[in-house]
Amino acid sequence: MLKTVVLVSGGGTNLQAILDAIAEGKITDTEITAVISNNPNAYALERAKKAGAAAEVVRPADFPDREAFHEALLAKVKEYEPDLIVLAGFMVQVPMCLVKAFPNQIINIHPALIPSFCGKGFYGLRVHEAALKRGVKLTGATVHFVNENLDEGPIIIQKAVRIKEGDTPEILQRRVMEEAEWQIMPEAIQLIAHGKVKVVDGKAVISE
């Protein structure tokens, strides 16, 4: 059983896609043991409770400084002894202490084809605004391992999504979720649960 902890900040549609994939047998040998949010109002926490997973909050405002928040987050994650940590719309830069404690065990979903529209300042709707502003014809989503540099870890799966005339950031965000994110995140977890992803020379290699 791949013990998995999911970190969230908002609506949690990617979390829901993972929970549904487990319920439907598309992800096997995997258990979501806890969902942890920095935001107590995240709807993702309700989704976790409905699915019977522990729903936890670690809120920056409850700590004297960033370091204390990071340590508390690390301690909370460690309580669940995860094999895998999934960032599913987690809008906090991942603390270095967490990256060091779980090398190649943290994955993130980014709503663009990395290395386009990623790094500092590129999150959520802003990514889609930037893609539309640049006028790219294809965008998409990327699941990657998290390393010490923002959005630079080994890429596991990417899926392209076409941009259409008349797209707004909101319309594009929804299409990228439906056509890419909600598919590739469960796929990546299923591959990891079955030992099919290795990191070799800084790149993720998928075996059949």
- Contact residues for ligand GAR (CB under 6 A)? 8, 10-14, 44, 88-89, 109-111, 123-124, 127, 177, 181
Catalytic residue among 70, 110, 128, 144: 110
The beta-strand segments (E) located in 23-154 are: 30-37, 54-57, 84-87, 106-110, 138-145
> Residue 14 or residue 30: which is nearer to ligand GAR going by CB?
14
Residue whose token pair is 């392209």: 160
CA distance 114 to 128: 13
Note if 110 is an active site residue: yes
Q: Which of 27, 168, 185 is nearest to 110 (CA)?
A: 185
Distance in Å, CB of 207 to ligand GAR, minimum: 26
Distance in Å, CB of 64 to ligand GAR, minimum: 27
The residue whose Cβ lies closest to ligand GAR is: 89
> Residue 26 or residue 174: which is nearer to ligand GAR going by CB?
174
Buried b (16+ CB within 10 A) or exposed e, 164-182: eeebebeebbebbbebbbb
Q: Give the end-to-end CA distance of the chain in Å, rounded to a whole number.
A: 20
Q: Which of 165, 91, 102 is nearest to 124 (CA)?
A: 91
> Residue 11 or residue 169: which is nearer to ligand GAR going by CB?
11
Distance in Å, CB of 195 to ligand GAR, minimum: 25
Known catalytic residues are: 110
